[in-house]
Amino acid sequence: MTSTAISETFRREVVADKPENLGRYLVLFFSSGFPALLYQIVWQRALFTIYGVNIESVTVIVTVFMLGLGLGSLAGGRLSTISGLRALRAFGLIELSVGIFGATSLWIFHWAAHFTAGKPTAVTGVVTFMLLLIPTLLMGSTLPLLVAHLVRRTANVGESVGALYAVNTFGSGVACVCAALFLMRMLGESGTVRLAASLNILVGISALLISRRGEPSFSLPQKQVRTINDGAHKTIPFGMGIILAAATGFIALAYEIVWYRIYSFTSAGAAPCFAMLLAFYLIGIACGALVVHDLSRKKLRNDLPRTLRMAATVVAIGSIAAFLVGPAVSFLVSSVRLPYHLTFLLVSVAAGLLGSAFPIIAHAAIDPCSKAGRDLSYMYLSNIIGSALGSYLVGFIVLDHWSTRTVSLLLLAVGIVLAFILSFLARPVRVVAPAILLCVCGVLALSSGPMFAKMYDRLLLKANYGHGDQIMTIVENRSGVIAVDSHDRVFGGGIYDGQFNIDPMNAANGIFRAYAIAAMHPDPRNVLVIGLATGSWTQVLANHPDVRDVTVIEINPGYLELIRSRPIVSSLLRNPRVHIFIDDGRRWLVSHPDRKFDFILMNTTYNRRANVTNLLSVEFMQLLRQHMNSGGIAYYNTTSSEQVQYTGATAFPYALRVANLLAVSDSPINFDRTRWRDVLIDYRIDNQLVFDLTRPTDRATLESMLSLPQSTREDTAVGLDRSIEDRASLLHRLQGVRLITDDNMGTEWGH
């Protein structure tokens, strides 16, 4: 058969499927993307509960998830080369398998939690990898499998990859929006997973039913397909395509890490923030892929130079847009007073440009032959590896040493270098556009100082920026951003996290609640503190006359730098009774099952912040109980949440609210005002009396603290912020309030 005859045969075959028939693949792949992101959100959340939310755990879990998808891509590529394979039938079986695993996944994770309790990080990393390998391998295999199937019908890699990549990513983006707005709040972890599993099973059954009606299995021999495309579809060296795909993945995911830091700070760590950021990120990528789909079908089909120049353009403009997201968001929320939610559109634009580079590069590097699915699997794997490296290197290493501005400049430089490489590959080389690009980037680099100088001030203060308060100190590391304002107030991750103050005459930070410990426990010798922050509360507790040992767990080492510079708390770092560990509080307790304490203090963050349920749920209360000596007390900040107060009062037989903190125990809690007075009169910090009773103001403050009123069921006029309340009154006042569990996640998602 001649080349012309083969071409005509191929043309008739590839157009045999009408657009409406191809649409069924797109609908199914969209529906497949929806549960995939629900799984990612819930599984990461469940694993954070098991292994903690410190940067090591986050990095391990995210990296393992992505590598599983990469290995799945290889498996899908291998499947696509099997002669006579019914792609839709294989896709259906894969979806059914994912659904079955998803339905049992939380049970499996809980079993793994008990199995790995107290094990080293390396062991938990291996277990996590094994847990996620099966489902992520299955999910990652579907793209190259269906791409190979569609390429046989379109003879166009860019069109096929763009279409499938777009609809699957768009489905994932819609899932993120639904999770942020109502799914996680209404269904919790288990309900959301059940919904995702049901969707997988529905998609799987639908795919199998459609395949039974007759699924074409046309596939020309590879030699004939190459003959068709000889001279028609030129490509760059495949190895170069692999490198370029990895580079685009690196830039895109590294920028996502930077954006999440910025948005987490401006949203005060709200739980829906990450889901919404991811939603707009994915929707942007989906829109970019759709544009590539149209361009590949019309203008880029067999035009390699134009394809490469288009790739260079989107990478260059995307890198510039991504670089400007942080300064633009800070300007819009402060000067324009735009709600930060609306600025997610900036993320969509930047992500759409950067994300569209992958299908364009795939179109430039992959020959639309019978091995297109296999080749795509290699490129997809390289893109995922690049993404994982971007997440790991930037999130785990670079941000621990460089500021957001420096990292953004680095990523801008990487993007511009990549754009120049793509331009060079598009022979003949055009010098005007690269020269203009170089000038623009030079201007951005020179002006980056002013653009980033007050970025965190604007993100924190928003409409109040420029009206008195200002940030005096910024500490950035891989664990987050800490800001200290002109009033010595500390904001960790964009939310109030305490104040440098140990003086009860200054009630700005409610420090009397720390001194109240002396009224509740007669002999708190061995103490655990979860959450160091400013160190003010720990300084008070460490100088209690009966305390002999203080173990402190703090997730962000940046606070140590601040404490070292503040004389009123710096002695903590030299106190031989104080032992500080950088770790997640829940993870540390799980990994130290034999440690028990007389008193546990947690002056932690607001109840609506992401992942704070890990320290407030019924399950965590049970974990605390295992670490309390006989007569031990746990005392923690409820940030005035009724759900938090009710959960603690229900989990323990004895409870006492002190202002907005709650003390819980398995033994009666006696609030002894006489003992409290005796301790306070002689209380010393760094050998200085806290109360100088020769001064009237000190005497008045002492008497005010000692006369802290008690709120009862009958007396609702007593202010909750300056009173104590026993368990019976708490349960009566809070009847009908929902308990916080690891599954429902308390108030994090906007209850």
Please give the sequence-ordered ranges of beta strands (E in DSSP) within 488-627, or none if there are none. Answer: 489-492, 495-499, 526-530, 549-554, 578-582, 597-602
519: Cα within 13 Å, side-chain hemisphere:
22
pLDDT for the residue numbered 62: 74
The closest of 207, 235, 69 to 149, measured between CA atoms, is 207
Contact 267, 329 (CB under 8 A): no
Sheet containing strand 495-499, strands side by side: 471-477, 480-485, 489-492, 495-499
Cα 231 from Cα 520, distance rounded (Å): 85
Residue 727 tokens read as 């368990």
Q: How big is the CA angle at 618 (ends 615 and 620), to the nearest 5 degrees? A: 40
pLDDT for the residue numbered 396: 86
Contact 638, 660 (CB under 8 A): yes
Which amino acid is located at 16 in the chain? Answer: A
Contact 593, 626 (CB under 8 A): yes
Contact 620, 586 (CB under 8 A): yes
Segments making up each domain of the chain, as ranges? 10-217, 234-462, 463-497, 508-733
Contact 189, 106 (CB under 8 A): yes
Q: Which fold has domain 10-217?
A: Growth Hormone; Chain: A; (1.20.1250)
Contact 533, 539 (CB under 8 A): no
**What DSSP character marks residue 500?**
S
Residues 480, 484, 489, 494, Cα dihedral to 10°: -40
Contact 647, 618 (CB under 8 A): yes
Cα 254 from Cα 125, distance rounded (Å): 22
> Does this chain's domain 234-462 share its CATH topology with 508-733?
no
For the chain, list residues with pLDDT below 50.
1-20, 217-231, 717
Helix (H, G, I), strand (E, B) or coil at 106: helix
Residue 569 tokens read as 């708390």
pLDDT for the residue numbered 6: 38
Residue 108 tokens read as 């499996």
Backbone φ and ψ for 214, nearest 5 degrees, come out as 125, 100
The closest of 169, 193, 198 to 183, measured between CA atoms, is 193
> Phi-psi region for residue 328, left (φ > 0), alpha (ψ -120 to 50) or beta?
alpha
- Per residue in 485-528, pLDDT tens? 988 899 999 999 999 999 999 878 899 999 999 999 999 999 99
Which amino acid is located at 354 in the chain? Answer: L
Q: Which fold has domain 234-462?
A: Growth Hormone; Chain: A; (1.20.1250)
End-to-end CA distance of the chain: 69
394 membership: H or E segment, kind and range: none
Residue 593 CB neighbours (<10 A)? 12
pLDDT for the residue numbered 19: 46
Report the interhelical angle of 142-154 vs 157-178 (nearest 10°): 140
**What DSSP character marks residue 557?**
T
pLDDT for the residue numbered 8: 42
Which amino acid is located at 349 in the chain? Answer: V
pLDDT for the residue numbered 13: 42
The closest of 34, 25, 30, 28 to 196, measured between CA atoms, is 34
pLDDT for the residue numbered 59: 72
Residue 115 tokens read as 């199995």
pTM: 0.89
Cis peptide before 428 (omega within 30 of 0): yes
pLDDT for the residue numbered 219: 45
The verdict on domain 508-733 having CATH code 3.40.50.150 is yes
pLDDT for the residue numbered 354: 92
* Beta-bridge partner residues of 685: 688
pLDDT for the residue numbered 84: 57
- Find how far residue 37's CA is from the centre of its chain: 13
Cα 452 from Cα 419, distance rounded (Å): 24
- State how beta strands 724-726 and 710-711 pair: parallel
Backbone φ and ψ for 391, nearest 5 degrees, come out as -65, -45
**What DSSP character marks residue 737?**
P
Which amino acid is located at 744 in the chain? Answer: N
Beta-carbon contacts of 696 under 8 Å, excluding residues fewer than 6 positions away, are none
The closest of 258, 265, 257, 255 to 458, measured between CA atoms, is 265
Dihedral sign, CA of 166, 168, 174, 177?
negative
Cα 612 from Cα 530, distance rounded (Å): 12
pLDDT for the residue numbered 134: 86
387 membership: H or E segment, kind and range: helix 372-392
Q: What is the CA radius of gyration of the chain?
A: 29
Helix (H, G, I), strand (E, B) or coil at 683: coil
pLDDT for the residue numbered 14: 42
69: Cα within 13 Å, side-chain hemisphere:
20
Residue 206 tokens read as 């639908």
Contact 238, 305 (CB under 8 A): no
The closest of 362, 383, 382, 381 to 372, measured between CA atoms, is 362
| Secondary structure string (H, E, C) spanning 220-260 | CCHHHHHHHHCCCCCCCCHHHHHHHHHHHHHHHHHHHHHHH
Contact 606, 750 (CB under 8 A): no
